[in-house]
């Protein structure tokens, strides 16, 4: 079997992407943080004692995207051209939907960076709010959409 991340001697390697063409790459990912309705209200009202939960989560998500290659061993370091996070309050399900869009122009995609961004942002929401609600859940971390490269534009059903 030919493994892409194993060299001829059986050791780990980063895939050689030097022959790939540069293209605009975009990825969108999502995570959901479920919590008690009172916790959602406190976050929305800015009443969490640690401070601006979503403001800190926004910065943490951007930093997470930028550090992906330091966290995931075989990820290529990328020159990201844009990282944007959005937070949506879901009152019915007492949750916050975290969505990240990450862009670059290069030889490899930014799916891992988008997934890392929402994961780190969701973890930050938990960290900032855990004194109020230790049983929050981070769920549905997933890629929603990607474009660029050989596989083109793909959208989750």
Note whether 147 and 29 are within 8 A (CB). Answer: no
SS3 61: helix
CA atoms within a 13 Å half-sphere pointing along the CA-CB vector of 138: 19
75 assigned ligand-binding residue: yes
Beta-strand (E) ranges in the chain?
23-34, 80-90, 95-106, 137-147, 154-155
Return d(Cα 29, Cα 7) in angstroms, integer.
31
Tokens describing residue 5: 């991340």
Is residue 133 part of the annotated active site? The answer reads no
153 assigned ligand-binding residue: no
76 assigned ligand-binding residue: yes
Exactly one of 90, 127, 133, 157 is catalytic; which is it?
127
Residues labelled as active-site residues: 127
Which residues does the annotation place in the binding site for substrate? 74-76, 112-113
């Amino acid at each position: 079997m030919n493994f892409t991340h194993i060299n001829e001697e059986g050791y780990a390697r980063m895939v050689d992407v030097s022959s790939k063409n540069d293209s605009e790459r975009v990825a969108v990912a999502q995570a959901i943080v479920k919590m008690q309705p009172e916790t959602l209200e406190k976050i929305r009202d800015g009443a969490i004692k640690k401070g601006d939960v979503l403001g800190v989560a926004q910065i943490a998500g951007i930093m997470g995207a930028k550090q992906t290659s330091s966290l995931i061993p075989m990820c290529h370091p990328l020159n990201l051209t844009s990282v944007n996070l959005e937070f949506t309050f879901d009152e019915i399900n007492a949750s916050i939907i975290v969505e990240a869009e990450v862009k670059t122009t290069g030889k490899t995609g930014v799916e891992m960076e988008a997934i890392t961004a929402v994961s780190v942002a969701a973890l930050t929401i938990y960290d900032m709010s855990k004194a109020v609600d230790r049983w929050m859940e981070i769920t549905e971390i997933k890629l929603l959409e990607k474009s660029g490269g050989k596989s083109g534009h793909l959208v989750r059903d």
